[in-house]
Amino acid sequence: MESLRYYEQLAEVPKEALKPILGGRLKGMSDINPMWRIKQLTEVFGPCGIGWKYEILRQQVVDGANGEKAAFVDINLYYKDGEKWSEPIPGSGGSMFVSKEKNGLYTDDECFKKALTDAIGVAGKALGLAATVYWQKDSTKYNAVDAVKEMFPGTEEMLDNLTITPADVMACEGCGAGMTSGQITLSQKKFDGKTLCVKCQKEVS
């Protein structure tokens, strides 16, 4: 489909660009290598400044709790479609400037650089950048759990106790879409060892 051409080119994140988060509130999720985002945008649109670009609209530091401070960057991202530049795609990113650690307050002099990288990633999501990872984060609410419950009655208790992370993602052998480990196991049992997503399962049933 023509309207998905950029989405499909930008969506897939290779395993080597993912780093598991081992602690904190995001434990169990995966961090995406920021240079992979730049490389992916460059491969699809061309060099930064020629095929895609961004403008910084605002940088600010906001006071947090217990002496902590957070840095935020707002940008507009643009890409070139043929000879025409796109409308602005907004993105906001953040990073800690002063954070409270075990040994006291820590100041990060790279906070605005990290916030900018985050903002590029946020804006890029609207184009499908790293969509397979973000899709799986959202799928824990419905796609990977409720949809499988609906197709395979009797699995409710198992799936309610299932922890899904982006590291569990694999591809459907039918359409190439990302799948979770829970979907894969159930899919292989029902479809002669072939790994199919919910959509493809419905098509062959």
64 within some domain = yes
- DSSP secondary structure letter of residue 1: -
Angstrom CA distances, 95 to 13, 69, 87, 148, stand at 23, 9, 26, 36
Q: In this structure, are 124 and 169 located in the same domain? A: no
143 within some domain = yes
Q: In this structure, are 125 and 150 located in the same domain? A: no
Q: In this structure, are 112 and 152 located in the same domain? A: no
pLDDT of residue 180: 47
SS3 call for 121: helix
- Residues of the chain with pLDDT below 50 are 22, 25-28, 138-145, 147-148, 151, 163-169, 180-189
80 within some domain = yes
Q: In this structure, are 74 and 89 located in the same domain? A: yes
Q: In this structure, are 102 and 74 located in the same domain? A: yes
Q: In this structure, are 140 and 182 located in the same domain? A: yes
28 within some domain = no
Q: How many CB atoms lie within 10 A of CB 78?
A: 17
**Residue holding tokens 């100041």?**
107
User: What is the sign of the dihedral through the CA atoms of 114, 115, 118 and 124?
Assistant: negative
Angstrom CA distances, 42 to 37, 46, 113, 129, stand at 9, 5, 19, 12
3 within some domain = no
SS3 call for 181: helix
Q: In this structure, are 65 and 152 located in the same domain? A: no
In this prediction the pTM is 0.61
140 within some domain = yes
Chosen domain end from 65, 94, 129: 129
17 within some domain = no
Q: In this structure, are 50 and 118 located in the same domain? A: yes
Q: Are 69 and 96 in contact (CB under 8 A)?
A: yes
Q: Are 41 and 48 in contact (CB under 8 A)?
A: yes
Domain carrying residue 153? 136-204
Chosen domain end from 113, 129, 145: 129
Q: In this structure, are 155 and 96 located in the same domain? A: no
Burial-class residue 35 by CB neighbours within 10 Å (0-12, 13-18, 19+): exposed
127-147: b or e for each residue (b if 16 or more CB lie within 10 Å)?
Answer: bbbbbbbbbbeebeeebbbeb
pLDDT of residue 17: 75
Q: In this structure, are 121 and 146 located in the same domain? A: no
Chosen domain end from 129, 148, 183: 129
- Max intra-chain CA distance, the chain: 59
User: Residue 180 carries which side chain, given as an amino acid letter?
Assistant: T
pLDDT of residue 139: 43
Q: In this structure, are 116 and 39 located in the same domain? A: yes
CATH number for the domain spanning 55: value is 3.30.160
pLDDT of residue 108: 94
Which residue from 49, 103, 52, 60 is spatially nearest to 77, judged by alpha carbons? 52
pLDDT of residue 26: 46
21 within some domain = no
Q: In this structure, are 80 and 151 located in the same domain? A: no
Q: How many domains does the chain have?
A: 2
